[in-house]
Amino acid sequence: MTNTQDIIITEVALRDGSHAIAHQYTVDHVLKVAKALNDAGVPYIEVSHGDGLSGSSLQFGLSRTNEMELIEAAASVSDHSKVAVLLLPGIGTIKDLKEAAQHGAKMARIATHVTEADVASQHIAAAKELGMETVGFLMMSHMVEVDKLVGQAKLMESYGADTVYVVDSAGALLPNQVSERIRTLKQHIGINIGFHGHNNLSLAMANSLVAIEEGATRIDGSVRCLGAGAGNTQTEVLVSVLDRMGIQTGIDVYKMMDLAEEIVAPILQTPQEITRDSLVLGYAGVYSSFALHAKRAATKFGIDSREILLELGRRKVIGGQEDMIIDVAAEIAKRKVLTK
């Protein structure tokens, strides 16, 4: 790699990281974090509810602050960084996308389950009409064989996506599986390839590096590992490692270290780490944002949250089916009563 910017990083702490603080970001939080990220030279900053535009709900968790205010706040202090938003069709709408663009969003990341790329066509087209850069975000990419993943990525490309992402929503992929997926996509599609990792098996950094080795040029990171489950690839560490490897990101390493320590760390209610719940997410292959929901259900029914997460994994429950967590917990509790 010889370009001045070999790898383009999207910072997701102000979106994925929202899960870690129960969607309690304030305008002041976003202003401080986004300004520091901009000053450090981060190319893209993703801002929205953890489950994307219009995710604020009883099912997914209520936001403390209207996400459009947060998007506008980030855009107001970003003269270098571009603001990105996540949208899950069926949760967010084209109307939400238009409003986000009006408030300063420049990139739309359209996220679907890895077998449902076809639901993204209208949203990608709408984002292109708005002049936004577009990303096809294939969530839970561990759940399908590589040939199926390629087919879904080709659909995203055909709809006009500028980039397609392998998204390890459960933090379940092993390095050899990431390698195979990125390498095969590189052989079959002509657009940028990205990778979004979760650290539930302590593999987010390793998987990100493997993705880069195989040709991915877009990588997601989160300052202080702030994200659902055990968090994402830790941006300040990733930038430091890539700098050691001679791979350019255009990001100031020291400024990333400082903002992680001085601005983001105080926001965290508890340190982001691999707990038994987040470990089970990766072990069972379950959507990372399920951890908090499963923990609450376990407390309500007096059972072990690991039992809930493992059963969700067996049933192949996906993002958007959070309502099933309570049902599964109730069934497990009922079985325990009947077997006493």
Task: Quote the pLDDT of residue 5.
Answer: 65
Domain of 296, in residue numbers? 289-338
Predicted model pTM: 0.92
Q: What is the CATH number of the domain that holds 46?
A: 3.20.20.70
Q: How many residues does the chain have?
A: 340
Q: What is the pLDDT of residue 261?
A: 96
Are residues 255 and 329 both part of a single domain?
A: no
Q: Which residues contact 84 (CB under 8 A, 6 or more apart)?
A: 10, 44, 45, 46, 47, 105, 106, 107, 108, 109, 135
Instruction: Tell me what pLDDT residue 292 has.
Output: 82
**pLDDT at residue 1, as a whole number:** 37
pLDDT given at position 4: 53
Are 236 and 325 in the same domain?
Answer: no
Contact between 156 and 138 (Cβ < 8 Å)? yes
Residues 37 and 76 in one domain: yes
Cα(289)–Cα(285) distance, rounded to whole angstroms?
12
- The whole-angstrom separation of Cα 282 and Cα 288 is 8
Q: Comparing C-alpha atoms, which of 332, 212, 201, 203 is closest to residue 278?
A: 201
The stretches in the chain having pLDDT less than 50 are 1-3
Tokens of residue 247, six digits: 């791979």
Name the domain count of the chain.
Answer: 2
User: Given its phi and psi angles, is residue 165 left (phi above 0), alpha (psi -120 to 50 degrees) or beta?
Assistant: beta
The two three-digit tokens of residue 75, written as one number = 């855009």
pLDDT at 157: 98
Please tell me the predicted confidence (pLDDT) of residue 76. 98
Q: Based on the domain organization, do 316 and 221 belong to the same domain? A: no
pLDDT value, residue 291: 82
Catalytic residues: 19
Please give the Cα distance from 240 to 207 (Å, whole number). 16
Q: What is the dihedral of CA 25, 26, 27, 29, to 10 degrees?
A: -70
